[in-house]
Amino acid sequence: MKLLKDKIVQDGKVLSDQVLKVDSFLNHQIDPPLMQAIGEEFAERFKDAGITKILTLESSGIAPSMMAGLILGVPVIFARKRKSLTLIDHLYTASVHSFTKNETNDISVSKDFVTSEDTVLLIDDFLANGQAVLGLLDIIEQAGAKLAGVGIVIEKGFQPGGALIREQDIRVESLANIASLENGQVTFFEGALSK
């Protein structure tokens, strides 16, 4: 997605070979017209997948998911993150380890909102080690829902998450797939994975 890649090159900050900061338009400040374009792109790619719900994770997944949900005409559920869950009544839960923060959080979704009747599109802002997506997939499986696929705003394709998910025969659509952050430069994978 050219608009997004241009934005990453223009406003993203490469902090190291591993870390790209996109606080100015996605993770802290949000650029609404860009979120609208991202929502349209997800909706276009998944329009024939029979989606009934979008599932994402607070907080940075909410804005792009909301726009995709508006266009696809389906509700959005954001999984909640908590250090540890005391009240797990009527919740699907999964553990998600963050390598960046070196901490494990529980994520949870109410059993009211994802059921075996649903076909779910999973959306997240970043795909790096894949732990958040694996946690959300776990919840979809617990609910007995059907998975339509995974929509990612920015994939760090040089980290193992994408391969980990795709080798389970899951459709992953990344709107920008980064090949490298070396020498302070953002390089994208070209071709099918990152059109």
Q: Is 31 a binder of its own copies (CB under 8 A)?
A: yes
Distance CA 96, CA 78 (A): 15
- DSSP structural state of residue 193: G
Q: Which of 16, 32, 50, 88 binds its own copies (CB under 8 A)?
A: 32
Question: Measured from the CB atom, is 111 or 195 closer to its own copies?
Answer: 111
Question: Measured from the CB atom, is 6 or 190 closer to its own copies?
Answer: 6
The pair of structure tokens assigned to 140 is 């979809």
Stretch that binds its own copies, among 44-52, 54-62, 116-124, 156-164 (CB under 8 A): 54-62
What's the closest the beta carbon of residue 78 comes to its own copies, in angstroms? 6
Q: Which of 58, 103, 141, 190 binds its own copies (CB under 8 A)?
A: 58
Q: Which of residues 69-98 bind its own copies (CB under 8 A)?
A: 69-70, 74-78, 80, 83
Q: Which of 4, 22, 51, 66 binds its own copies (CB under 8 A)?
A: 66
Check if the beta carbon of residue 128 is closer than 8 Å to that of residue 159: yes
Which helix (H) or strand (E) covers residue 110, if one does?
strand 103-110
Q: Is 3 a binder of its own copies (CB under 8 A)?
A: no
Distance CA 158, CA 186 (A): 12
Distance CA 35, CA 184 (A): 25
Q: Is 59 a binder of its own copies (CB under 8 A)?
A: yes
CA atoms within 13 A on the CB side of 144: 5
Q: Which of residues 110-139 bind its own copies (CB under 8 A)?
A: 110, 112-113
- DSSP structural state of residue 52: -
Distance CA 90, CA 72 (A): 28
Question: Which residues of the shown chain bind its own copies in the complex (CB under 8 A)?
Answer: 23-25, 28-33, 35-36, 58-59, 62-63, 66-67, 69-70, 74-78, 80, 83, 109-110, 112-113
